[in-house]
Amino acid sequence: MWNHTEVTKKLSIKFPIIQAGMAGGITTPELVAAVSNAGGLGMLGAGYMTPEQLESDIQKIIKLTSKPFGVNLFVPENPVVIQEEIERANQLLEPIRQRLGIKKKSHLPQINTSVFDEQIQIVLKYEVPVCSFTFGIPPRETIHQLKKNGIVTIGTATTVKEAIMNEEAGMDMVVVQGSEAGGHRGSFAEPFDDSMIGTMALIPQVADHVSIPIIAAGGIMDGRGVFAALILGAEAVQMGTAFVTCVESGANELHKKAILNGTEEQTVITSAFSGKPARGLKNEFIVKMKEHEDSLPAYPIQNMLTQDIRSEAAKQKKSEWMSLWCGQNPRLSKHLHAAELIEMITNQIEEIINKFHLIKETERLI
């Protein structure tokens, strides 16, 4: 059967479909549980969560599903704080704050890197079945501690080198993120613009160089994409954009609408919102900040600076100042319940198998 893979076996799930952990309130407990209940793996995007928020969401998920689910975390980064850079960025952001009626930014919140350790403790406390990471590789002791407690660990890579590094660090599996992907780039070992490799080129090259199961991400929206990724050597897929527009997703309605009406040439890579390159639908904020991108503070400082703008813009329903993360396949997006999306994908794969007269396992046995 097409759906029996290394990943479905190891995670005890029915279909090799993982809903990406998407930080910022998109992955509601309802979405995570709906995906897991439908036979995929729901993943809570907890990168920006306080330990209390994470604990509360895990408790809600456990009430909604008895199936495996995961938590996605950000490996912390601690960039050098350059005061002049912050002042320059604030000057650029001030006219936008004025247009939104936001008070002048007076101080920068502290970067708290200990939150990550507290998040790990919550994952351990609730024996969350799967813990995935992006923006780097966590310390070996963290990986070891999770694995010792029976938690499956998943890293993120955007190049063959990063996938090998994840394997060497002891990760059980690796998400291989192609350049089509919506949201932040997971690149950490090489300059991000050298690491913009398309999903179709990246998957087979990684498959030839690592022995841990690989999970394909980037531009996968339907049965065609899922089946193609499996043929290229992936053991599962991770889909983000396709789940953003689901009924259970907590994404802002303007974000959902922008993706549902989006076209393939409208997404761009920008560092303007967070200081880290990410793919989203082009809007006025991105256009205005474009020429200054190279001199903005690094992630997460720029992310902190734009936080008030993004949340106020969402409140005022002004999508021109919001981050509208989206992969390169918005025309394939649908407004469905998560279970309907998974059913659509599996039906499409059955159709492909029939169309190409691919031999099914049951037939091979005869």
Ligand X SMILES: Cc1cc2nc3c(=O)[nH]c(=O)nc-3n(C[C@H](O)[C@H](O)[C@H](O)COP(=O)(O)O)c2cc1C
Question: Exactly one of 38, 217, 281, 313 binds ligand X (CB under 6 A); which one?
Answer: 217
Q: How far is the CB of 290 from ligand X (least distance, A)?
A: 21
Q: Does 173 engage in binding with ligand X (CB under 6 A)?
A: no
Q: How far is the CB of 75 from ligand X (least distance, A)?
A: 10
Q: Which residues between 46 and 85 bind ligand X (CB under 6 A)? A: 47, 72
Q: Rank residues 270 and 329 by Cβ distance to ligand X and give the closer one.
A: 329
Q: Does 45 engage in binding with ligand X (CB under 6 A)?
A: yes
Contact 135/184 with Cβ under 8 angstroms?
A: yes
Contact 132/160 with Cβ under 8 angstroms?
A: no
Question: Exactly one of 151, 171, 244, 246 binds ligand X (CB under 6 A); which one?
Answer: 244
Question: Exactly one of 2, 69, 116, 325 binds ligand X (CB under 6 A); which one?
Answer: 325
Which span sits near ligand X by CB under 6 A: 96-104, 121-129, 189-197, 324-332? 324-332
The SS3 assignment for 17 reads strand
- d(CA 341, CA 335) in angstroms, rounded, equals 9
Q: Does 19 engage in binding with ligand X (CB under 6 A)?
A: no
Q: Rank residues 331 and 360 by Cβ distance to ligand X and give the closer one.
A: 331
- d(CA 157, CA 279) in angstroms, rounded, equals 16
Neighbour tally for 151: CB within 10 Å = 21
The SS3 assignment for 175 reads strand
> Exposed, middle or buried, 204 (CB in 10 Å: 0-12/13-18/19+)?
middle
Q: How far is the CB of 91 from ligand X (least distance, A)?
A: 28
Which span sits near ligand X by CB under 6 A: 22-30, 34-42, 54-62, 100-108? 22-30
Q: How far is the CB of 140 from ligand X (least distance, A)?
A: 20
Size, binding site for ligand X by CB under 6 A: 28
DSSP 110-140: PP-THHHHHHHHHHHHTT-SEEEEESS---H
Q: Does 314 engage in binding with ligand X (CB under 6 A)?
A: no
- d(CA 88, CA 209) in angstroms, rounded, equals 44
Which span sits near ligand X by CB under 6 A: 76-84, 93-101, 177-185, 350-358? 177-185
Kindly list the strands in the beta sheet with 17-19, ordered across the sheet, starting from the edge strand earlier in the chain: 17-19, 236-239, 214-217, 173-177, 152-157, 130-134, 69-74, 42-45
Considering only the C-alpha atoms of the chain, give the largest distance between any 2 of them, rounded to a whole number of Å.
73
Q: Rank residues 5 and 333 by Cβ distance to ligand X and give the closer one.
A: 333
Nearest by Cα to 242 from 12, 54, 27 = 27
Question: Exactly one of 180, 235, 248, 312 binds ligand X (CB under 6 A); which one?
Answer: 180
Neighbour tally for 359: CB within 10 Å = 9
Q: Which residues between 112 and 171 bind ligand X (CB under 6 A)? A: 134, 156
Question: Exactly one of 7, 11, 13, 23 binds ligand X (CB under 6 A); which one?
Answer: 23
Which span sits near ligand X by CB under 6 A: 123-131, 175-183, 297-305, 338-346? 175-183
- d(CA 207, CA 161) in angstroms, rounded, equals 12
Q: Which residues between 254 and 313 bind ligand X (CB under 6 A)? A: none
Segment (H or E) for 243: helix 241-244
The answer for residues whose C-beta is within 8 angstroms of residue 165's C-beta and 6 or more apart is 137, 157, 189
The footprint of ligand X (CB under 6 A) covers: 20-23, 26, 45, 47, 72, 134, 156, 177, 180-183, 217-220, 238-242, 244, 325, 327, 329
